[in-house]
Amino acid sequence: MRIAAVKTVPVLQLAASNRAALRRHFLTLSNEDLRLRFEHVISEAALLKYVDSIDFERDAVFGVFDAGLGLAGVAHLGLRGDIAEFGVSVAPGHRGEGIGTALYRRAYEYSRNHRITTLFVHCLKENKAMMHIARKAGMEIVLDAAEVEAHLHVPPGDPASYTEEFLDDRVGLFDLALKSQFLAARAIADAMAEAADTLSHPLQQKERGQPQKDEEAA
């Protein structure tokens, strides 16, 4: 794999408990984004059905959370025996941040450690983001008129790759916990500021009304 390790983007393996966040992520994508991701036009009903049908016990799904705990990027590694198909999407506003590459690296790492021998990509030729990842990863690319197939042989895991996956999982969990705590602290601070502002209104109104009363008395 030619892609260098990307340590600056924490990636977390998702579970069924993240299904609602996945729905919100995909609903932020435009129709064109969805067409490129799924290779055809997809309705909202079909999109939600796809999310609800993800088998987290069989497949591997990875995500990158932003500061607001929304999924900035998602990768789905569909497993079929010792072959895994890689699909990725990055939300608008988070592109160009290395998220797609970090998700690919994490999926590749997972494949090595779970006896996957071939990593497979199938996408439309105009999907420049996926083509960039495939070329950067050194995949064998086969082009036809409209679609692309890319394959990569995945070597078996070793002690270093197992350790790396373990550490990446812990970093992903720590990143999510840190962002959750920050968001909760900000919500408390905002609530306290709002309460203080509300409590100060009667005093402000009294102070504003005092000069008028003094003038009337004069």
**Residue 81 placed within a domain:** yes
**Residue 182 placed within a domain:** no
**Residue 191 placed within a domain:** no
> Chain centroid to CA 207: how far?
51
Per-residue pLDDT of the chain (218 residues; tens, 9 = 90+): 555 544 579 999 999 999 999 999 999 999 999 999 999 999 999 999 999 999 999 999 999 999 999 999 999 999 999 999 999 999 999 999 999 999 999 999 999 999 999 999 999 999 999 999 999 999 999 988 789 999 999 999 999 999 999 999 999 999 889 988 888 887 787 777 777 777 766 555 555 555 555 555 44
What is the tally of structural domains in the chain? 1
Domain hosting 97: range is 12-173
**CATH number for position 113:** 3.40.630.30
Could you count the other beta carbons within 10 Å of the beta carbon of residue 46?
12
Identify the CA nearest to 116 among candidates 167, 68, 79, 90. 79
**Residue 149 placed within a domain:** yes
**Residue 3 placed within a domain:** no
- 169-192 burial string, b = 16+ CB within 10 Å, else e? beebeebbeebeeeeeeeeeeeee
Report CA torsion sign: 144, 136, 171, 116. Answer: positive
**Residue 178 placed within a domain:** no
**Residue 208 placed within a domain:** no
